[in-house]
Chains A and B, each alone.
Chain A
Amino acid sequence: MSEHNVVTRPLQRLKASTPVRNLRDARRGVRIPRPLHKVFGVLVIGLGAGVCLTALAQAPSSAPPPPATQSQAPQAGAPSGAGSAPEPSSTTNGQGQIIPEPLAPGSPGTPTLGPSGPPLESLSFDVAPAAPSGEWHLAAHDFANSRYSDLDQINTGNVNRLRVAWTFADGTINGHEAAPLVVGDTMYLITPFPNNAYALDLSQPGIPIKWVYKPNPRPIAMGKACCDTVNRGGAWADGKLVYNLLDGHTVAVDTKTGQEVWRTLIGQPAQGLTLTMAPLIVGDKVFVGVSGGELGVRGFLEALSLKDGHELWRAYSTGSDKDVLIGPEFHPFYQFMQGHNLGETTWPADAWRHGGGTTWGWISYDPATNLIFYGTSNPGPRVPVQRPGINLWTSTVFARDADTGMARWAYQFTPHDQWDYDGVNENLLADLDWNGQRRHVLIHFDRNAFAYVLDRATGEVLEASPFAYQNWSLGIDLKTGMPRVNPEEEPVPEKKLPNVCPPDIGGKDWQPSAMSPRTGLVYAGIFNICMELTDHRVSYIPGTPYDGMQMKRHAGPGGNWGEFMAWDPVKGRKAWSIREKFMTMSGALATAGDVVFYGTADGWFRAVHARTGAVLWSTKLGSGVIGQPIAFLGPDHREYIAIYSGIGGAAMVSQTEPGFPARGGTLYVFSVDGASPNTVNGMSETKGGGARQGGAMGAEVP
């Protein structure tokens, strides 16, 4: 029985035969030369039809949306939050899986290409920093974190012809969570511990290693990493590859030579601090977040100079307003976050000093307002009775000025987080049609199983709808901004709670989502997991876990651990989803070819139709997939898809499932028919001079 039973129906309409090559074309519309009078007639009819359909679709939302009364969603089909448009009907098959009707043309979220008019898409985003098409400079692709590629050589028509073009084994076996980067003719890879960096020459036969950089991080950091010794990738700018080492250093490597340019100590593993996140580079600044929320690390976000790595500013997640960089321009939207020094006063005395709020997730940036957006982790210790209070500013999204770090607004997703839900997941920056207005929002799938749409200028919650089964709350009150906590799922030390949903790793963890301006949908791997939980009181011992949660996780209702979904952010519900037996903990990739890619913990890598969720292509890789797929153009101007395989990370919570893979560490690169001029049949030799090795001693002292 296929695990991904999505019934497909032929699309009502396909995009016009003129392909859209890039985002600018999508916005402007594609022009087709035709006789002028025909153009005029068609234009009038087309516009009129579009206006009528849109008006019909928008009519019920002339009144403000009712406050979200979020009843528990027992299955994957969460009820709509906004309820602003007639919803496409859907049925549920025997496994409780959604089989949606395809979205009708003209309804919100479906871009339609009029014969000679602009598309009526609902979702758009800023493509800054606008790397050349076919390159990938940041793990999230762009400041908005879209993970959207405008390449469409690989599309719904030919994706089933994808074959392996070449592979690369990097010699490490821990969880492979990184996104490859492509700059010009070179691909850059970052490995899990020991965090080696490889430069591969895409232009030469055999794709040789140009250089390898071995930073030799200190092994004691391995014992401080809560969730495997992973690394989520690097960032490239100004001839430097910048990434984090597990042992608390950020490094910059000269990409021409593979030599280290600078190495900055952010914090000490002996205090429980490690680094796993992919930094963000904006202009001349590098933004770095820390890990260690499970070890009582007092979290912070750091800005470094791209040129030489020195610290520009540091914003703590707990403590005084001075430490948290809260000043007169800070305006949280909701009352519960208004006050002075709440980063101290919402804790028992001094508990904020080991309060967690680490920053190991994703950072996005809006050039129009010069604000960065990122989330903070769970509070410490993980046993909530030891820290009464709402524990600001943990499990919170911050908007900060990129130059000074001063906070502009914040929103705490899970006040007094009792289940380690964190708030670090990615914030996609998009523009949406909201009740007839164009609004600048951020879209965020939280660990607490709610999908949020926030106004990114003010932090107002426009919508919060569950995307996965949850029983910790009775809904989010949009008036106060606070959740109503279900008292039955509040942990008490030594008392076993048999079925808390979602578990600590959430309805969705760090695995990042992707959005498509062509469909208006946001794509993400999510979980269907619950936990048996018993809390135990704990003491703070530096460098050891400040934890206390005894957990056993199990699949939720339906028995599947994973699910891959397309979420309509305007309607607040799924457009379609695919249930997966194993965890779906890879990143998502959306492309202009209307294909979306994702992988599963047992090692399947799939391409699905962006509009209908039909699985168009699947292949089995050597190990499980928890990395981030990318699309790039080779020097031969051919489109390739690259994805790491190498299970590990938090996906190990399901390792006792029969069929769970062994560990590995191999990059797979696919193309249509596996074509690739540098890895063809015949007598081929790896070209390239000797691989140059650059490295440095892992210092015993910083």
Chain B
Amino acid sequence: MAARLPFRKTVAAGLVASAGLGIALTLALATRSAAQTPPSTNGTAQAALPQTQPAPVSADRPPAFAPLGDIPGTPLTPAQESGQNRMPPLDRNAVVKGEQLFGKMNCAGCHAYGGKGAMGPDLTDPYWRYGSSPEAIYSSIAEGRPQGMPSWGRTLSPKEIWSLVAYIRSLSKQPPFTAEAPKSGGTSAGQAEGQGLGRH
């Protein structure tokens, strides 16, 4: 049977352990609050960007934040800010699967076979009322939109919706498999985004 530690040493060990715990907790809290500090208003956003890593990407995680409106006080566009969860890696099958769903779920009934538009807007042209980024298209499908786009978020799985996104982006010749933003400036895709003037 080992001899017990003397009383004072026990207290000291406890104090050290508590302090260590306290420091660790404080550091953790400080880190978190640093992560939530809003970007400074003088435009040097880099310094205030979150330091935590984005949550691990997976096909089953829908976008967490895909704003339609602009974000005041930052140079970020809705497309750039769209979601912590970028489009997951998808394979070639995703486009094929998306095309099958496009017919099966009656998307073709409104947007026409091939996406040229009829009751619903043309999905092959550069005009995107609610944004052309993968996350924006995902949100449009999952949430629906006020002028008659139904909400499919309760009916289709995230994986199915991502495959639809891949197919739809392929219709307007945007890269289906990555989250590349539209090329800056020159393309009308980039210019048309954010023009909320309604269907032309």
Pair A223/B148 contact, Cβ less than 8 Å:
yes
Asked whether A544 and B148 contact (CB < 8 A) given A223-B120, A226-B119, A536-B113, the answer is no
Pair B113/A544 contact, Cβ less than 8 Å:
no
Chain A residues, Cβ within 8 Å of B119 = 223-227, 294, 545
Pair B109/A221 contact, Cβ less than 8 Å:
no
Pair A541/B149 contact, Cβ less than 8 Å:
no
Pair B148/A539 contact, Cβ less than 8 Å:
no
Pair B109/A220 contact, Cβ less than 8 Å:
no
Bound form: Cα–Cα A546–B108 in Å:
10
Chain A residues, Cβ within 8 Å of B52 = none
Bound form: Cα–Cα A545–B110 in Å:
7
Q: A541: which of B105, B147, B148 is its contact (CB, 8 Å)?
A: B105
Q: Is B106 at the interface (CB under 8 A from chain A)?
A: yes
Chain B residues, Cβ within 8 Å of A220 = 146-148
Majority DSSP secondary structure for residues of B touching A: loop
Chain B 122-161: CB-based contact to A (< 8 A → 1; otherwise 0): 0000000000000000000000001111100000000000
Instruction: Name the residue in A294, A295, A544 with the highest tally of chain B Cβ atoms < 10 Å from its Cβ.
Output: A544
Chain A residues, Cβ within 8 Å of B112 = 550
Chain B 81-104: CB-based contact to A (< 8 A → 1; otherwise 0): 000000000000000000000011
Distance in Å from the Cβ of B102 to the closest Cβ of chain A? Answer: 11
Chain A residues, Cβ within 8 Å of B105 = 541, 544
Pair B110/A222 contact, Cβ less than 8 Å:
no
Chain A residues, Cβ within 8 Å of B110 = 223, 544-545
Pair A550/B148 contact, Cβ less than 8 Å:
no
Distance in Å from the Cβ of A96 to the closest Cβ of chain B? Answer: 31
List A residues 76-117 near B (Cβ within 8 Å): none
Asked whether A544 and B106 contact (CB < 8 A) given A223-B120, A225-B119, A550-B113, the answer is yes
Pair A546/B109 contact, Cβ less than 8 Å:
yes
Chain B residues, Cβ within 8 Å of A547 = 106, 108-109
The chain A residue with its CB closest to the CB of B106 is A544
Pair B104/A223 contact, Cβ less than 8 Å:
no
Q: Is A67 at the interface (CB under 8 A from chain B)?
A: no
List A residues 200-232 near B (Cβ within 8 Å): 219-227
List A residues 547-569 near B (Cβ within 8 Å): 547-548, 550
Chain B residues, Cβ within 8 Å of A546 = 106, 109
The chain B residue with its CB closest to the CB of A536 is B103
Q: Is A118 at the interface (CB under 8 A from chain B)?
A: no
Bound form: Cα–Cα A221–B146 in Å:
9
Pair A539/B106 contact, Cβ less than 8 Å:
yes
Chain A residues, Cβ within 8 Å of B118 = 226
Q: A223: which of B103, B106, B113, B150 is its contact (CB, 8 Å)?
A: B150
Asked whether A541 and B106 contact (CB < 8 A) given A219-B146, A222-B147, A223-B150, the answer is yes
The chain A residue with its CB closest to the CB of B200 is A663
Asked whether A539 and B150 contact (CB < 8 A) given A226-B119, A545-B109, the answer is no
Pair A223/B149 contact, Cβ less than 8 Å:
yes
Asked whether A544 and B146 contact (CB < 8 A) given A223-B120, A226-B119, A294-B109, the answer is no
Q: Is A50 at the interface (CB under 8 A from chain B)?
A: no
Distance in Å from the Cβ of A124 to the closest Cβ of chain B? Answer: 42
Chain B 145-180: CB-based contact to A (< 8 A → 1; otherwise 0): 011111000000000000000000000000000000
Instruction: Name the residue in B105, B106, B113, B120 with the highest tally of chain A Cβ atoms < 10 Å from its Cβ.
Output: B106
Distance in Å from the Cβ of B54 to the closest Cβ of chain A? Answer: 33
Pair A536/B108 contact, Cβ less than 8 Å:
yes
Q: Is A543 at the interface (CB under 8 A from chain B)?
A: yes
Pair B109/A224 contact, Cβ less than 8 Å:
no
Pair B148/A219 contact, Cβ less than 8 Å:
yes
Bound form: Cα–Cα A543–B155 in Å:
14
Chain B residues, Cβ within 8 Å of A225 = 119, 148
Q: B148: which of A221, A227, A538 is its contact (CB, 8 Å)?
A: A221
Pair A222/B148 contact, Cβ less than 8 Å:
yes
Distance in Å from the Cβ of A663 to the closest Cβ of chain B? Answer: 8
Distance in Å from the Cβ of B45 to the closest Cβ of chain A? Answer: 35
Bound form: Cα–Cα A307–B120 in Å:
37
The chain B residue with its CB closest to the CB of A548 is B109
List B residues 12-35 near A (Cβ within 8 Å): none
Distance in Å from the Cβ of A360 to the closest Cβ of chain B? Answer: 15
Chain B residues, Cβ within 8 Å of A536 = 103, 108, 113
Distance in Å from the Cβ of B124 to the closest Cβ of chain A? Answer: 13
Chain A 616-635: CB-based contact to B (< 8 A → 1; otherwise 0): 00000000000000000000
Pair B147/A544 contact, Cβ less than 8 Å:
no
Bound form: Cα–Cα A219–B144 in Å:
12
Pair A219/B104 contact, Cβ less than 8 Å:
no
Chain B residues, Cβ within 8 Å of A223 = 110, 119-120, 147-150
Pair A224/B148 contact, Cβ less than 8 Å:
yes
Chain B residues, Cβ within 8 Å of A539 = 104, 106
Bound form: Cα–Cα A226–B103 in Å:
17
Distance in Å from the Cβ of A209 to the closest Cβ of chain B? Answer: 24
The chain B residue with its CB closest to the CB of A662 is B200
Bound form: Cα–Cα A219–B110 in Å:
16
Pair A544/B104 contact, Cβ less than 8 Å:
no
Chain A residues, Cβ within 8 Å of B149 = 223
Distance in Å from the Cβ of B116 to the closest Cβ of chain A? Answer: 10
Bound form: Cα–Cα A295–B109 in Å:
9
Distance in Å from the Cβ of A324 to the closest Cβ of chain B? Answer: 27
Bound form: Cα–Cα A38–B112 in Å:
72
The chain B residue with its CB closest to the CB of A547 is B109
Chain B residues, Cβ within 8 Å of A548 = 109
Pair A544/B103 contact, Cβ less than 8 Å:
no
Distance in Å from the Cβ of A545 to the closest Cβ of chain B? Answer: 3
Distance in Å from the Cβ of B152 to the closest Cβ of chain A? Answer: 10
Distance in Å from the Cβ of A273 to the closest Cβ of chain B? Answer: 13
Bound form: Cα–Cα A546–B109 in Å:
7
Distance in Å from the Cβ of A649 to the closest Cβ of chain B? Answer: 12
Distance in Å from the Cβ of A365 to the closest Cβ of chain B? Answer: 32
Bound form: Cα–Cα A546–B119 in Å:
13
Bound form: Cα–Cα A545–B112 in Å:
10
Bound form: Cα–Cα A520–B43 in Å:
77
The chain A residue with its CB closest to the CB of B155 is A541
List A residues 645-701 near B (Cβ within 8 Å): none
Chain B residues, Cβ within 8 Å of A222 = 147-148
Chain B residues, Cβ within 8 Å of A541 = 105-106
Pair B147/A219 contact, Cβ less than 8 Å:
yes
The chain B residue with its CB closest to the CB of A550 is B113
Bound form: Cα–Cα A269–B149 in Å:
12
The chain A residue with its CB closest to the CB of B114 is A550
List A residues 6-32 near B (Cβ within 8 Å): none
The chain B residue with its CB closest to the CB of A534 is B113
Chain B residues, Cβ within 8 Å of A227 = 119
Bound form: Cα–Cα A544–B144 in Å:
13
List A residues 248-289 near B (Cβ within 8 Å): 269
Chain A 518-538: CB-based contact to B (< 8 A → 1; otherwise 0): 000000000000000000101
The chain B residue with its CB closest to the CB of A221 is B148
Chain B residues, Cβ within 8 Å of A538 = 106, 109
The chain A residue with its CB closest to the CB of B149 is A223
Instruction: Give 7 closest A-B pairs by Cβ, nearest first.
Output: A223-B148, A545-B109, A544-B106, A547-B109, A550-B113, A222-B147, A222-B148
Chain A residues in the interface with B (C-beta under 8 A) = 219-227, 269, 294-295, 536, 538-539, 541, 543-548, 550
Chain B residues in the interface with A (C-beta under 8 A) = 103-106, 108-110, 112-113, 118-120, 146-150
Task: Enumerate 14 A-B pairs (CB-CB under 8 Å) in ascending A order.
Answer: A219-B146, A219-B148, A220-B148, A223-B119, A224-B119, A224-B148, A227-B119, A294-B119, A295-B109, A538-B106, A544-B110, A545-B109, A545-B119, A548-B109
New A-B pairs, 8, CB < 8 Å, besides A545-B119, A547-B109: A220-B148, A223-B120, A223-B147, A225-B119, A226-B119, A538-B106, A548-B109, A550-B108
